[in-house]
């Protein structure tokens, strides 16, 4: 918690709700922390996705516990979990299901695919071809799947937590921008610190299964979602969010220097997601109201996959994160 | 008879034609005045002779089509202008011989002016002076003045530059540094004074929005870092660079946190608290101004003190 909540000013009920949410979140962090050392921002990002009902894409080099963290979180949550390993020969039917001929009755019956679960781990999502990615796109956006001529609703809650490896590009199918935009957050996973790595060594140096408890039920998720929705956002914070996203679409390259690095800016979906995730971050910080820090903290994860860099940015070897940093440094906070 | 008559007629006709072919008698004139310009001139000088003459009858005169040549000099120009009955003749000439010179008759159409003379004095004969020795080359007017000005510039400018380098540069740099350092402070104090005047009227939220914006501007100018886009936490990092006193740092940070609470969480902002915040900020800014005098300025100050023996 930061200094902001040293002096509670919100109504007592709101403060109590935030404290209740903090207890639930702390339980989840503790349980996941039994398996995953460090990576606090990754775990918080995944939790943010779960609380806001958005999908999360994790990008990092192999061995950074991306899959482990998602599996641990899935075990902590009392909900269905399926892991789908995306490969080049995967078919949409392998994902969503297909119609199977039943000999006894002489009719086709639907066989639901692994996508019919609460939490889907789409491992190495960029290894599957575009048609499989499109099938997942419908599931992610519409939260429904069409098999044959019948449309089936997916169970609630439904989250896609996908991973991808940024260094191996051969034999991969980069996710199209439209699909990237469907992800609430894109978390860039970095290496652990030496201290964290030492802890990892000591904890899992000998291969063993560390049990975790199911501490987050569907009711808890719904409760967290309700509390997060009640986090108050001042009008000036709303304007700041809009200014920030609008800055990514700035075209005047002479006045705004960052504009030359951006080919296409973030969509209005980015504005909505920035708003929602800032609220959840305030909740994580134990505050019933949003401050500019919350927006700035979540902005890179919300914007980095929604900004398409220009040729100039590529020629100067700038990353999306650096361009987002320019935006955050240029737009005045309220 | 008829032959006599015819002869008579022929004779009278010839007589008539002879009478008709004789030109009328030239009109008379009277010279009213003759003026020479310049009045004092010598051989070789260009002189304008202005002659005013009056004709005895109204005639139209014309400037002579050809200017006559003279042996003693040269007639450059002859001009004619009418002044009612009077005519103004201007003859521009140069005589290369001394003595009295007669201008050849000038035919103005209606009259021929032939009695114009002028006396060309000789500087040797009339002035009784010897020839002057050869003079050095004459400079164009104003040359000496320009040479003096350029020489002065060539001397004074480098000299001033050297003087400035030796004494003025430090003073100027010191003045500019002082001015630059004091500018954000002056602006900040002015803004806070304005804000404090309306501290009771203004809404608490609006007060902290304005106050924190002024502080951000002040920090931006002082730190030469854009603090307008910095959050409260980020400002904490900037303040570490600016404020050496931990207490001041915490005070400013608390103020920002309090401001955020008022702005984004509708926390109350009592008037006394607002006044306290303004006075605390003013005192910190004053200390900051004193602390952050540049090392060079402090060195100058020490040198000055040493010079006066303090």
Taking any CB pair shorter than 8 Å as contact, residues of chain B touching chain A are 209, 226, 228-233, 253-254, 257-258, 260-261, 263-268
Give the distance from residue A9's alpha carbon to the nearest chain B alpha carbon, in angstroms: 6
**Burial state string for B172-193 with b = 16 or more CB within 10 A and e = fewer than 16:** eebeeeeeebeebbeebbebbe
Give the best residue of A292, A294, A334 to mutate against chain B (max B CB count within 10 A): A292
| Residues forming a β-bridge with A214 | none
> Average pLDDT, stretch A159-180?
80
pLDDT of residue A84 exceeding 70:
yes
The domain segmentation of chain A, as residue ranges, is 1-8+229-334, 36-204
B238, B219 in Cβ contact below 8 A? yes
Quick one: pLDDT at residue B240? 79
Looking at residue B309, its pLDDT comes to: 44
Q: Which of A7, A290, A329 sits opposite B226 (nearest CB)?
A: A329
- Nearest residue, CB atoms, B229 vs list A9, A10, A333: A333
Contact criterion met (CB < 8 Å) for B233 and A2: yes
Distance CA B29, CA B13 (A): 35
Q: Are B27 and B33 in contact (CB under 8 A)?
A: no
* Contact in structure between A290 and A280 (CB atoms under 8 Å): no
- Cβ contact B231–A296 (<8 Å): yes
- pLDDT band, very low/low/confident/very high, at B25 (cuts 50, 70, 90): very low
- Predicted pLDDT of residue B16: 57
Going through chain B in order, the beta strands assigned E by DSSP cover 29-37, 46-55, 73-83, 86-95, 99-103, 106-107, 112-113, 116-120
Q: Is the pLDDT of residue B308 over 60?
A: no
* Smallest CA–CA distance from A4 into chain B, residue: B257
Chain A interface, mutation test: which of B264, B266, B267, B269, most A Cβ atoms within 10 Å?
B264
Does pLDDT of A7 surpass 80? no
pLDDT value at B293 more than 60:
no
The shortest CB-CB distance from A10 to any of B229, B232, B265 is to B265
A1-8+229-334: CATH, from 1.10.1060.10, 1.20.81.30, 3.40.50.2000, 1.10.8.80 = 1.10.8.80
Q: Inspect the interface and report whether the beta carbons of A232 and B265 lie closer than 8 Å.
A: yes
- A245 sits in the region (left: phi over 0; alpha: psi -120 to 50; else beta) called alpha
- Decide if pLDDT at B1 tops 60: no
Residue A278, both tokens: 């800032």
Q: Which of A9, A237, A332 sits opposite B266 (nearest CB)?
A: A9
Share above pLDDT 70 across residues of chain B, in percent, rounded to a whole number? 82
**Predicted confidence (pLDDT) at residue B156 exceeds the cutoff of 90:** yes
Pairwise CB contact (< 8 Å): B229 & A234: no
Domain ranges (residues) in chain B: 29-120, 155-307
Q: Which CATH class is domain B29-120?
A: mainly beta
All residues of chain B having their beta carbon less than 8 Å from the beta carbon of residue A4 are 232, 257, 260-261, 265
Q: Which of A234, A329, A331 sits opposite B263 (nearest CB)?
A: A234
Q: Which residues of A touch B254 (CB under 8 A)?
A: 3
- Range A229-251 burial, b when 16+ CB lie within 10 A, else e: ebbbbbeebbebbeebbebbebe
Sign of CA dihedral B61, B62, B66, B71: positive
- Dmax (CA) for chain A in angstroms is 72
Q: List, for residues A205-264, the tens digit of each pLDDT value.
A: 666 677 888 888 888 888 898 999 989 999 999 999 999 999 998 887 777 778 888 988
Rounded (5°) CA angle B303-B245-B232: 125
Residues 6+ apart with CB under 8 A from A147: A96, A97, A98, A99, A110, A111, A112
Q: What does the pLDDT read at residue A239?
A: 94
Given an 8 Å threshold on Cβ–Cβ distance, is B264 in contact with A237? yes
Q: Which of A4, A236, A332 sits opposite B228 (nearest CB)?
A: A332
**Hey, CA dihedral for B219, B221, B223, B226, is it positive or negative?**
positive
> Considering only alpha carbons, which residue of chain A is nearest residue B234?
A293
Question: Which pLDDT score, from 0 to 100, does residue A6 have?
Answer: 46
Nearest to B261 among A9, A237, A293 (CB): A9
Residue B41: is its pLDDT beyond 70? yes
**Confidence grade of residue A13 (pLDDT, cut at 50, 70, 90):** confident
CB–CB of A4 and B260 under 8 A? yes
Closest-CA residue of A relative to B228 is A332
Mutation to test the A interface, candidates B260, B262, B270, most A Cβ within 10 Å: B260
Q: pLDDT value at position B139? A: 83
CB B230 within 8 A of CB B238: yes
CB < 8 Å to B270, chain A: none
Exposed, middle or buried: residue B84 (CB in 10 Å: 0-12, 13-18, 19+)? exposed
- Written as one string, the DSSP assignment of A176-208 is PHHHHHHEEEEEE--PPPHHHHHHHHHHHSS--
For the domain made up of A36-204, give the CATH fold. Answer: Rossmann fold (3.40.50)
Residue A233: what pLDDT? 92
Chain A positions touching B265 (Cβ under 8 A) are 4, 9-10, 232, 287-289
What residue of A is the nearest CA neighbor of B212? A334
- Cross-chain Cβ contact B265/A288 below 8 Å: yes
- Neighbouring CB atoms inside 10 A of B263's CB total 24
Q: Which residues of A touch B (CB under 8 A)?
A: 2-4, 6-7, 9-10, 232, 234, 236-237, 287-293, 296, 328-334
Query: How confident is the model at residue A134, as a pLDDT?
Result: 85
CA distance B308 to chain A (A): 49
- Is A17 exposed, middle or buried, given 0-12, 13-18 or 19+ CB atoms closer than 10 A? buried
pLDDT for the residue numbered B289 = 67
B-chain residues near A11 (CB < 8 A): none
């Amino acid at each position: 918690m930061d200094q902001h909540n040293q002096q509670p000013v919100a109504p007592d009920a709101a403060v109590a709700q935030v404290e209740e949410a903090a207890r639930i979140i702390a339980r989840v962090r503790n349980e996941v922390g039994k398996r995953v050392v460090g990576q606090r921002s990754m775990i918080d990002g995944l939790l943010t996705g779960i609380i806001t009902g958005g999908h999360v894409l994790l990008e990092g080099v192999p061995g950074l516990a991306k899959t482990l963290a998602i599996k641990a979180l899935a075990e902590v949550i009392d909900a269905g979990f399926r892991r789908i390993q995306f490969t080049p020969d995967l078919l949409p039917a392998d994902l969503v299901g297909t119609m199977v001929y039943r000999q006894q009755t002489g009719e086709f019956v639907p066989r639901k695919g692994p996508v019919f679960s609460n939490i889907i781990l789409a491992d190495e999502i960029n290894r599957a071809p575009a048609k499989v990615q499109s099938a997942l796109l419908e599931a992610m956006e519409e939260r429904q799947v069409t098999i044959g001529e019948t449309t089936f609703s997916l169970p609630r809650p439904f989250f896609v937590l996908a991973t991808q490896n940024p260094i191996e590009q051969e034999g991969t199918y980069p996710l199209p921008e439209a699909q990237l935009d469907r992800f609430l957050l894109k978390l860039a996973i970095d290496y652990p610190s030496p201290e964290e790595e030492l802890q990892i060594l000591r904890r899992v140096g000998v291969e063993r299964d560390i049990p975790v408890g199911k501490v987050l039920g569907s009711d808890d998720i719904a409760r967290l979602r309700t509390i997060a929705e009640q986090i108050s956002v001042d009008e000036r914070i709303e304007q700041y969010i809009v200014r920030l996203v609008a800055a990514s679409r700035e075209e005047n390259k002479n006045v705004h220097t960052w504009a030359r690095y951006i080919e296409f800016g973030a969509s209005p979906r980015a504005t909505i997601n920035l708003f929602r995730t800032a609220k959840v971050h305030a909740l994580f910080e134990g505050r019933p109201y949003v401050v500019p820090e919350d927006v700035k903290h979540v902005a890179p994860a919300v914007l980095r996959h929604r900004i398409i860099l220009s040729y100039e940015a590529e020629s100067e070897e700038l990353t999306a994160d650096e361009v987002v940093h320019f935006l955050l440094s240029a737009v005045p906070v309220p | 008879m008829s032959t006599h008559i015819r002869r008579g007629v022929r004779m009278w006709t010839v007589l008539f034609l002879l009478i008709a072919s004789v030109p009328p008698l030239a009109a008379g004139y009277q010279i009213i005045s003759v003026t020479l310009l310049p009045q004092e001139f010598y051989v070789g000088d260009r002189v304008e002779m202005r002659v005013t003459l009056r004709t005895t009858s109204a005639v139209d005169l014309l400037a002579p089509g050809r200017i006559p040549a003279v042996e003693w000099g040269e007639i450059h120009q002859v001009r004619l202008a009418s002044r009612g009955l009077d005519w103004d003749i201007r003859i521009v000439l140069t005589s290369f011989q001394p003595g009295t010179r007669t201008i050849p008759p000038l035919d103005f159409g209606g009259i021929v002016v032939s009695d114009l003379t002028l006396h060309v004095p000789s500087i040797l004969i009339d002035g009784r002076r010897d020839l002057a020795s050869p003079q050095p080359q004459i400079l164009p007017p104003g040359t000496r003045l320009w040479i003096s000005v350029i020489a002065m510039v060539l001397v004074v400018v480098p000299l001033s530059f050297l003087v400035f380098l030796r004494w003025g540069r430090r003073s100027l740099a010191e003045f500019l540094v002082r001015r630059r350092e004091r500018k954000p402070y002056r602006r900040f104090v002015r803004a806070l004074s304005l804000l404090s005047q309306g501290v009771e009227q203004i809404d608490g939220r609006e007060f902290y929005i304005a106050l924190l914006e002024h502080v951000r501007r002040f920090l931006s100018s002082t730190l030469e870092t854009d603090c307008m886009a910095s959050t409260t936490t980020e400002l904490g990092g900037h303040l570490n660079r600016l404020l050496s006193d931990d207490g001041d740092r915490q005070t400013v940070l608390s103020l920002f946190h309090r401001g955020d609470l008022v702005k984004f969480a509708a926390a109350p902002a009592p008037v006394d608290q607002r006044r306290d915040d303004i006075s605390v900020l003013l005192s910190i800014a004053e200390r900051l101004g004193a602390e952050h005098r540049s090392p060079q300025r402090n060195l100058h100050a020490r040198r000055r003190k040493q010079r006066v023996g303090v």
